[in-house]
Chains A and B, each alone.
Chain A
Amino acid sequence: MANYFLDNTDLVYQFEKLDLKEVVELLEDNYKQAEKFNYAPVNYEDAIENYRKIMEVVGDIAANYIAPRAASIDEEGAAFKDGKVSYAKGTREALDILSKAELMGLILPREYGGLNFPTTIYMVAVEMISRADASLMNLFGLQDIGKTIAQFADEIQKEEFLPGLASGEFTGAMALTEPDAGSDLQAVKLTAYQDENGKWFLRGVKRFITNGNGDVLLVLARSEPGTKDARGLSMFVCHRDDTLIVRRIEHKLGIHGSPTCELQFNDTPAQLVGAKRFGLLKYVIYLMNRARIGIGAQSLGIAQEAYEEALKYAKAREQFGKSIYYLPVISNMLIEMKVTIEANRSLYYSTCVWLDKKEKYEDLVDGLKAAKKPFADANEKLKHANKIVSFLTPLSKFFLSESANKISYDSLQIHGGTGYMKEFSVERLTRDARITNIYEGTSQLQVVAATGGAINDIFAEFFDDQEKKEYKGNLIKLLDCLKEMRELYKDCLKYVKDKKDSNFQDVAAKDLVEMYGYIYTGFLLLNEANTRQQKVFTARRYILDSLSKARKNAESIKNELYSDVLHADTILI
């Protein structure tokens, strides 16, 4: 039987390499949970064994139950009739089996029916689900809504909303975007007001809301009349009821299984989550960062499936008397796809582990503060982790979503004319991939978010340490390449800074972020190659390719390629 976990040796490799010891200890409160729950781990090894077993279950369901339904889900799509949204048959069946398998509350606390897994492990599951059906990820991946409630809501709200989300009885939605507030969420207008008894109500319109028909909605709303910026926004939670109208669902290029709704709140009763005015600044940022991480896994899953399809097709398709797999041009494309996926996966799970660490340090610091204990050391760790996550999260989303597009594009190319037809799944993958570098923040915005980390050279110490390590044979040459890239990077950074032209800096940021991302990922792969023979090929291809891209980026900056942006009005006539 096929299994998207066990059959994917690279995923298993990354899983086995995860170092979550510190995270799991904090998460499991030193394994005290085991006294209360017979499925809680008794130590770290037991926790890892739990994660492995459950990933095997997810891998089985994804490969044998969900993947066979993906084509029909795409064809049927979510539907809207008489004000009601319905999922495709395959979507309903998939959600049903995932609920029965108790997989809808992977990251929620056990007290509310969840499994209390680290985010990293949840993302391994999201990658596999996305590979089986990218659109299902948009529903399965909504577990972050429960997580946000668990993190910031009060006890009564948790009791009210979490058990249903954990069991799969409820699905959720995050209602943030509005017609005039997309990338710029500060502009949110939907109003939250209180009646004389202090009860909150919501009034206004939200647009492009994934699963807006869900049972539990987190809503970003303006609670402070007269304000115009983020400080007037608060977060609310509400049940779907008759006051909440789905006006329409969008007809989309891809992810057809996931309904994208326009919502009208007509004095919908709601509850405030956490403190007023922190809606965007704290809670939605938390939710959005996690959602971005989720899109990374979705991108990776789509890329993996596109690669598998290309490989399978290339082997089966015979032209010129042999399978096209043996044509160097084709095998070269396949290698490029595979290497990109492996490099991305390495970058991705490193990002996830840092996110887990950051969140756990936050809890640790909060706990120490509450107990009036010294927290300076923990706070240092938190600050460090925070810096890294603030860079790696947008970088991963940027790299992985762009790759998903490139890889599905190449996979379709390998299929030739056949790939353009509906008979093969690659045209669906190509359509599904296209949203990944747009929603939850476009690539352009991810670059903006990642620029600070790159400019501050946040990995300087890490890179220095890596350079001091001993490397075997050919890897020394690759180390030299990475050193050269660091020099190129520093040189370009200085050039861009010295130029003091903010237009130029805005456009050159992409080149800089890319270069910095190549160096970080390059070092991850170099490390892997140092202990695993098979990874030498991956590291070699990735680092050499990155070096040439970095040189190109450096050229663009040094030649002032972008100085003509000042003359846009003259050029764009």
Chain B
Amino acid sequence: MDLHSIVMVKQVPDTANISGQVMKEDGTVNRAKLPAIFNHEDRAALELALRIKDEHGGKVTVVTMGPPRASDILRECLFMGADEAILISDRKFAGADTLATSYVLAEAIKKVGNYDFVFAGRQAIDGDTAQVGPQTAEKLNIPQITYAEEILEVTETSVKVRRKIDGGYEILESKLPVLITALKDSAFPRPFKAKRVMAYKNSKTLLELEKLAEGNSLLYTDQLKEEYQSKHLYIQTFTMDDLKLDEARCGVHGSPTKVHKIDSVVLAGGNQEMVEPNKAGISNLIDKLMEDHILG
């Protein structure tokens, strides 16, 4: 059975490496100073898709919405084994919140079409909203399974997934197509494959080819595109026009979420209280924590 998976991936700032230079005085992040990485949970999602392909045949397409430099992670997807990669990029997408992002992604997925699975990481480490996956499923009008821990069984028409819930797990079965968001530990991502790294190291998106052409008066984007396509090194690129999108629903215009204010919160200890190391003391402590909604 040939199964087609589309994986939504995102390039994110490497928040694990935040140094002094990265935080601005107002408490926001200076993204230019942060190295960009492949969102870990998205990489796990890609691994799940690749395993389905390994086991059942078919193909894996990855899509990302982002600035031109997000092309880097698309190449990384090709290095891991993705068959096709698509960059969705347009200046008009800037400032998109989860609603606008899921609109664009859903339209791109519809354009690709013919899919059995849509995979995504549970959430991206920069926004931590975990909304894009579910919103995309809604717009595609397909079922969704979030917080996937393991894919238990795949048939031509259905999938069985163990998903994480508070204090345990549940097992869900869904018909295909389905959208699944993956937790980081759902699959340890495979390494880059040496042969693919060498074969696809020079693959480029349209935006990168445009940049090449800009820097050299002898080069034309159309010619470059043709040349790269003939060498199988062209990474498909969708702009707003390619997707025939409603501009009012894209980017900052289509985003009801507005950042009101960012505070840099410094947590400092206040008063302290002694807890007696006995049953009654612990019991009092738990009551107090529950009152303060820290527990429960």
Kindly identify which residue among B14, B190, B196 contacts A39, using a CB–CB cutoff of 8 Å.
B196
**Contact B201–A38 (Cβ < 8 Å):** no
Task: Give chain B nearest CB distance to A275 CB in angstroms.
Answer: 34
**Contact B191–A54 (Cβ < 8 Å):** no
**Contact B195–A102 (Cβ < 8 Å):** yes
Task: Give chain B nearest CB distance to A404 CB in angstroms.
Answer: 28
**Contact A61–B191 (Cβ < 8 Å):** yes
Kindly identify which residue among B14, B191, B232 contacts A38, using a CB–CB cutoff of 8 Å.
B232
Hey, which chain A residues are within 8 Å of B199, CB to CB?
38-39
**Contact B193–A100 (Cβ < 8 Å):** yes
How long is the Cα–Cα vector from A115 to B195 in the complex, in angstroms? 7
| Residues 38-52 of chain A, each 1 if its beta carbon lies under 8 Å from chain B, else 0 | 111100000001100
A53 within 8 A of B: yes
B169 within 8 A of A: no
How long is the Cα–Cα vector from A49 to B14 in the complex, in angstroms? 26
**Contact B201–A49 (Cβ < 8 Å):** yes
- Knowing A50-B201, A53-B201, the reply to whether A115 touches B194 (Cβ < 8 A) is yes
| Residues 175-206 of chain B, each 1 if its beta carbon lies under 8 Å from chain A, else 0 | 00000000000000011111111110100000
**Contact B232–A101 (Cβ < 8 Å):** no
**Contact B190–A100 (Cβ < 8 Å):** yes
**Contact A101–B201 (Cβ < 8 Å):** no
A103 within 8 A of B: yes
Residue of B nearest to A40 (CB): B198
**Contact B198–A53 (Cβ < 8 Å):** yes
A97 within 8 A of B: yes
A57 within 8 A of B: yes
How long is the Cα–Cα vector from A50 to B14 in the complex, in angstroms? 26
**Contact B191–A100 (Cβ < 8 Å):** yes
A-B Cβ contacts below 8 A, count: 44
How long is the Cα–Cα vector from A188 to B191 in the complex, in angstroms? 42
Residue of A nearest to B193 (CB): A102
| Residues 160-179 of chain B, each 1 if its beta carbon lies under 8 Å from chain A, else 0 | 00000000000000000000
Task: Give chain B nearest CB distance to A64 CB in angstroms.
Answer: 10
**Contact A39–B191 (Cβ < 8 Å):** no
Hey, which chain B residues are within 8 Å of A41, CB to CB?
198
Hey, which chain B residues are within 8 Å of A54, CB to CB?
194, 197-198
Kindly identify which residue among B37, B191, B194, B232 contacts A97, using a CB–CB cutoff of 8 Å.
B191
How long is the Cα–Cα vector from A1 to B43 in the complex, in angstroms? 15
Kindly identify which residue among B37, B190, B194 contacts A103, using a CB–CB cutoff of 8 Å.
B194
How long is the Cα–Cα vector from A49 to B202 in the complex, in angstroms? 10
How long is the Cα–Cα vector from A449 to B142 in the complex, in angstroms? 72
Hey, which chain B residues are within 8 Å of A57, CB to CB?
191-192, 194, 197
Task: Give chain B nearest CB distance to A434 CB in angstroms.
Answer: 32
Hey, which chain A residues are within 8 Å of B194, CB to CB?
39, 54, 57, 101-103, 115
| Residues 518-530 of chain A, each 1 if its beta carbon lies under 8 Å from chain B, else 0 | 0000000000000
Hey, which chain A residues are within 8 Å of B195, CB to CB?
39, 102, 115
Task: Give chain B nearest CB distance to A261 CB in angstroms.
Answer: 29
How long is the Cα–Cα vector from A526 to B195 in the complex, in angstroms? 38
How long is the Cα–Cα vector from A1 to B35 in the complex, in angstroms? 10
How long is the Cα–Cα vector from A418 to B198 in the complex, in angstroms? 44
Task: Give chain A nearest CB distance to B48 CB in angstroms.
Answer: 16
Hey, which chain A residues are within 8 Å of B197, CB to CB?
39, 50, 53-54, 57
| Residues 24-40 of chain B, each 1 if its beta carbon lies under 8 Å from chain A, else 0 | 00000000000001000
Residue of B nearest to A93 (CB): B188
A–B Cβ pairs within 8 angstroms, 26 of them: A1-B14, A39-B194, A39-B195, A39-B196, A39-B198, A39-B199, A41-B198, A49-B201, A50-B198, A50-B201, A53-B201, A54-B197, A54-B198, A57-B192, A60-B191, A61-B191, A97-B191, A100-B191, A100-B193, A101-B194, A102-B193, A102-B194, A102-B195, A103-B194, A115-B195, A115-B198
Question: Hey, which bits of chain A sit against chain B, CB under 8 A?
Answer: 1, 38-41, 49-50, 53-54, 57, 60-61, 65, 97, 100-103, 115
